[in-house]
Structures are given as C-alpha cells and as structure tokens.
Structure 1
Amino acid sequence: MPDHRMPHRLAEASLSGMARRPAPLPDALRPTFTTAQAHRAGVRPDRLRAKDLRTPTAGVRSPAAAEVDVHNTARAYALVLPPPFAFSHLTAARLLGLPTPRPWTPDERLHVMRPKGTSLLTRAGVHGHRGLERRLTDFVDGLAVTDPLETWADLAHELAEDDLLAIADDLLARDRTRPKDLERIAADRSTRGSVALRRCASLARAGSASPWESKARHAFLTWRLPEPELNADVHTSDGRWLARPDFLWRARRVVGEYDGDQHRTDRAQWQYERERRARLEDAGFTYVEMTSLSLTSPRHRDALRERLTRLLLG
C-alpha cells in the first residue's frame, strides 16, 4: 500500500537540511563590535558563532564579508586594546599612507605603542612597544597613530636605508614637513639606525615622484655619482619644451627614466614613453631606462652602475 506521508517526510528532511539564516543583529551594534557589547544588547552566545561573522581578535566580531585590510583590522583591535595607545612603526606607516617596502598581509602583527609604566601588550597579533609619552600622535579615521615624522624615525632600525629615504622624500612632498623637521627628529634619535636616519634627512628631496625613484636616487648617491635634478623640464636650444624626465644630469645631457609596471601594461603610456625618448635622443640626450630589476638584480644593478659611471664621470 503506498505511503502517502512520503512527500511530507521529504519536505521535512529538505527543510531540516537547509542552513538557517542567522537572526538579525541589533541595530545598536556597529558592523564591528565587541562580544561584551553584543551580550549587553541581548545577543545569544551561539549567534556570535554564526558563519556571517568572523573574529579579527579575541572578543571582537566583524562581518565575514567585510574587506580584510590594515584599516579594518586596526579598528577591530582598537575596540579591545587598553588605553592609552597608538598604532606605531610599520602599522602607523600603512595607516598614514606612507610608502612601505612590502604590502600588508593579514598575518602581519599590528605595532602598538603605550606609555612607559604601562603594561606591555601581549595580545596575539600585536607587537607591543613603549615610549608613547615621548611621541606626537595623529588620528587617521579615528585611530590614534604616531605622527608621520615619529613613525619615520621609529622605522630606522628595521628598514633598509633606501626605504627610509623613500619615506623621507614622501614626507617632504607633504605640505606639513620641511627639511629641517627631518633633520631635527633625526638628530634627536640615538638608537640603532640613527646614522642612516641622519643621512636620509640630508639626502631627502621633495621632487621625487615615487618610492622607486627615491630608491634609484639612493643608488646613484651610493655609487658617488653626481646628484640629478628631479622631474625637471628639458627644452630645446630654441626654447621648445621637450620632456620632464625623472632624472636629469643637465651638464652631461643624460636623462634617466624609471619605468614602473604601468609602462608595460598601459599601451598608451608605453607609446608616449617611446615618443618622448625619441624626442630627447633627437635633441642629443642620452636616455637611460631603468626598472625595478635595475635595482634589485645584482647583474642588472651592476650594468646600470657601469653605464651611468661611464656617462657621468667618464
């Protein structure tokens, strides 16, 4: 005899196998919130374990769909870090938009500084520092960070000198920083890296247009080559504008161009560079093209050094 209850049983099994949609969270909770806030709002503990939430750090929940970047991660940690504190070192540099030698990754610890006499932070995912009482601070989207100059100086012991110079050049391109500001804070530091810091303070220039241009200029100076003009206008003998190259050794009629990846991937940019090179060479300038490989590969770096030495000192 047929079992007429079978369709109902199938429907019940189907419904029981479907994932239940998590209950809406109270409107009072921000997208990122602490578990303590959730408990005060009446949220059950099992709701905080639902798959639409993730745990950036213990005691905090964020939407699982939210972008995982350094800003959102810092905001999450800021909810549970004991005040007073400020993000510092490489984390501050990232939040301030300073050039850094490598991109942020989710496994990178956040650098957090507190005043002397307070407990050193030991939370997972945090690198704790002391000394905040001696630092000026700024705010980025509501997050306390060490001031850009302080951040630059704090990075002296962990970054290569050309990376420090790239940050110094970037700071000078901002309206708030002057060469004497770099020199002052470099003179105040006596920790590891302070010699490089003082050297970069004297070498920094506002005309550098990118971190890689700064790193290239650092190489030129390390090789004891004449310092180039940066992004200076070049004209023909009758006054017509030709170009504004990255580097110009005017007396030697040599120009240098650092080509980033956009020169390869952007067809219009590539064509423009070819035409500009032709104009400069027709006007009697020697054109020296360089890429990141020219600075990172020992073989290509040696070749660039040999060519520039011959052109500028030969």
Structure 2
Amino acid sequence: MGMRPRPLPDELASGPFSTVRARELGLPAMRVYRSDLVHPTHGAHSLTEPVTLAERAVAYAAGMPSARAFSHVTAALLLGLPLPMRLEAEAPSAGLHVMAPTSDGWVERAGCVGHRGLESRRTTTVQGIAVVSAADTWCDLGELRRGTVDVDDLVVAGDAAVALIDARSGVRVRSGSVTSPGVRALHEALHSRVRPRGKVMLAEALRLVRPRVASPMETRSRLMFVRAGFPEPEVNGVVVDEAGEFVAEADLLWRSRRVVAEYQGAPHAEIRRRSGDEVRRRRLEALGHTVREIFSEDVHRTPRRVETLLFMARALDVDPATLLIA
C-alpha cells in the first residue's frame, strides 16, 4: 500500500493553485503530481475537480500567465450577461474563451478557445480572475461565428451590460432616459474597434439598447412592441400620483396613454410577490392606467403574441392596420 500523500499547506487546500505558488511555499516538486490532486490545465492543480464554468475559469487562471483574461461567452457568463439558452447550456463543458495580447499570439492549450487583442480591451475582476469588461465583452459577442447570436440577443445582453455598468457607476438614471453611463460605455467600446466583425449587427442592436432594464424578458417584450411598430415605451417608468407621491415602477409604460405592460416571469409566481404585483396593479388602475400582464408565451407563441398585440393596439388607440402583427 502506498503512503498517503503529504497534506497540503492550508493556503493551497482552499482552491486551485499554480506550480509556481507550490514551489514558493516549499512544496516538493513531485507532490503536485500525487493521486489526491487533479490538474485542470498545465501548471494548475486542485484537490477537487472543477465543474461549473466559474470553477473551471478559476482553475485555468491559476495555470495561465497573468497577461490573459477570459472573454466572449466565458466573460459574458462570468459577468452575468444573459445569452441564448443554447450557449448557456453548452458553456459548462465548452472551451473557455481566453484572450491574450496580440504580441503574445493565440492562446493554445486544451480546453481553451484562444483570442488575441487584449491590449485594446478593458478588463475587470470577477472572483479574483481577469475578465474582459462588460462593454468590450458585448462587442466581442457580436464578433462570434455567424449565426451564434442575433440582433435581439445582442440587445438583451446590451441591456444587461448597461444595467451592470450603471449600477457600478453610482449614477441614478432618470426614468424615461434613453442614455446613461452604461449606454455611453457601449458606444465608446464599439466606436473604438477598427473594422470589427459583426459591426452592422452591433450598431443595429445598440440603437435598441436602453438603461433601467431589469430582465431579459423585459427586453424581449419591449422589442416585440417596437418591431410591430408601436410607439416605444419607457422602461421601468416611474408613475406618481397627483401629489407627486410614488405609485409604481411600470415595466413598460406608455405614459401619455396611461398604458402599462408588466412582464410576469417565474419569480412573480411566489405568493408574496404576486400579492405585491396585484396591489401595484390596483394602484395604477385607480389612476386610470390600463395594465396588461405579459407572459413568456405572449412573446414566443404566435397566437398569444397576436392577441396581445391586438389588445395593446386597442389600449393605445393605434390602428392595427398600421402595425406588423404576426
């Protein structure tokens, strides 16, 4: 029977570590190759096999040079930017997108999708590892292989990136505003690129990106109305009463017509939250607003979408013949 491996120093037992760090702590060279350790990538070691995307990224980062950052799909998910369901489902087992400075060449190691150009991107830190910034990641998503994302996917991700940047800026974005620090950051990132792939698609998406968006389905609901030809609603518009007191924040608000569309996702099914939604609805209706609840099926299923659009056309006094209802 072989000898039990020597215990690791506490500093190395808490997570992935590099060969260099092990040597700095005086660990014998062969200790990192004993049977109790796994090796997620060259130069990285861990007591446990990384499973989630974040765990894999942290493990890979331990074995990579410092002048690297996670990018594209990997960066988007680490930052919390929503992506198409297919990409999110594939991500835990797909290659990690890693970017290096152009002068260093492509990142070439098993389990990684290499990119160049880190010198032209800003980076941030997520869970202690370097990640391309939200604005630059949004631009990089538009450069993915044709057919990977479409314009609406980029608007969804762009709205989320803007919300993230705005929250970190500390700036209070006014209800009804179509610009913000986040929106400006996306413009700056796109305009700084020299002939990026997907620029036409990114530019189209950027025209539709808005601040104050709270969820992907709020974005897709808004796009449904905009693409049908409706006047664009305010996003999470604040409604006050005649005394100027706060009444509600409406997901989609056509202020002049006093019409509201409220997206109801899974979190809204919880009883306490549902009760709060109903109170808000009553307050809005007491002020003369028409309130329509929108569900996923109302956006994605044709019969439900048509019925929803026709209802909203009547509420907004818009002639259906002038709309693209399908």
Question: Same fold, TM exceeding 0.5?
Answer: yes
Q: How do 1:291-306 residues align onto structure 2 when only pairs under 5 Å count?
A: 291-306=295-310
Q: How do 1:280-299 residues align onto structure 2 when only pairs under 5 Å count?
A: 280-299=284-303
Change (3 A) 1:36 1:309: same
Whether 1:269 and 2:270 are equivalent positions in the alignment is no
Q: Secondary structure at the match of 1:274?
A: helix
Q: What is residue 3 of structure 1 aligned with on the other side?
A: none
Shift of 1:228: 0.8
Q: Which of 106, 122, 138 is residue 152 of structure 1 equivalent to?
A: 138
CA–CA separation in structure 2 for the residues paired with 1:117 and 1:283: 62
Q: What is residue 7 of structure 1 aligned with on the other side?
A: none
Q: Which of 209, 212, 217 is residue 212 of structure 1 equivalent to?
A: 217
8 Å contact 2:54–2:78 — kept in the other structure? yes
Change (3 A) 1:144 1:242: closer
8 Å contact 2:19–2:32 — kept in the other structure? no
Larger Rg: 1
RMSD: 3.1
Change (3 A) 1:171 1:28: closer
Change (3 A) 1:219 1:191: farther
Query: Which of 296-305 and 242-251 deviates more?
Result: 296-305
8 Å contact 2:5–2:34 — kept in the other structure? no
CA–CA separation in structure 2 for the residues paired with 1:107 and 1:280: 46
Q: Secondary structure at the match of 1:113?
A: strand
Q: What is residue 200 of structure 2 aligned with on the other side?
A: 195
Change (3 A) 1:285 1:156: same
CA–CA separation in structure 2 for the residues paired with 1:79 and 1:46: 14
Q: What is residue 9 of structure 1 aligned with on the other side?
A: none
CA–CA separation in structure 1 for the residues paired with 2:150 and 2:272: 34
Whether 1:168 and 2:158 are equivalent positions in the alignment is yes
Q: Secondary structure at the match of 1:244?
A: strand
Q: What is residue 13 of structure 1 aligned with on the other side?
A: none
Q: Deviations over 1:75-111 (max 9, x none)?
A: 2111222453221112122233333344464202211
CA–CA separation in structure 2 for the residues paired with 1:282 and 1:44: 74
Identity in percent? 38
Q: Secondary structure at the match of 2:34?
A: helix
Amino acid in the other structure paired with 1:171 = A
8 Å contact 1:156–1:194 — kept in the other structure? yes
Whether 1:130 and 2:116 are equivalent positions in the alignment is yes
Change (3 A) 1:77 1:178: closer
Shift of 1:136: 2.5
Amino acid in the other structure paired with 2:155 = L
Shift of 1:141: 3.9
8 Å contact 1:156–1:193 — kept in the other structure? yes
Shift of 1:21: 6.7
Query: Which of 181-190 and 71-80 deviates more?
Result: 181-190
Q: What is residue 143 of structure 1 aligned with on the other side?
A: 129
Shift of 1:288: 1.2
> Runs of 5+ in structure 2 lacking a partner?
170-180, 320-326
Change (3 A) 1:152 1:284: same
Shift of 1:144: 2.0
Shift of 1:156: 1.3
CA–CA separation in structure 2 for the residues paired with 1:308 and 1:147: 38
Q: What is residue 237 of structure 2 aligned with on the other side?
A: 232
Shift of 1:54: 3.6
8 Å contact 1:114–1:131 — kept in the other structure? yes
Q: Secondary structure at the match of 1:289?
A: strand
Q: How do 1:35-184 residues align onto structure 2 when only pairs under 5 Å count?
A: 41-42=27-28, 44=30, 48-50=34-36, 53-64=37-48, 68-82=51-65, 84-102=67-85, 103=88, 105-158=91-144, 159-173=149-163, 174-175=165-166, 176=169, 177-184=181-188
> Runs of 5+ in structure 1 lacking a partner?
1-15
Shift of 1:181: 3.0
Q: What is residue 32 of structure 1 aligned with on the other side?
A: 16
Shift of 1:112: 0.6
CA–CA separation in structure 2 for the residues paired with 1:162 and 1:292: 15
Shift of 1:224: 1.8
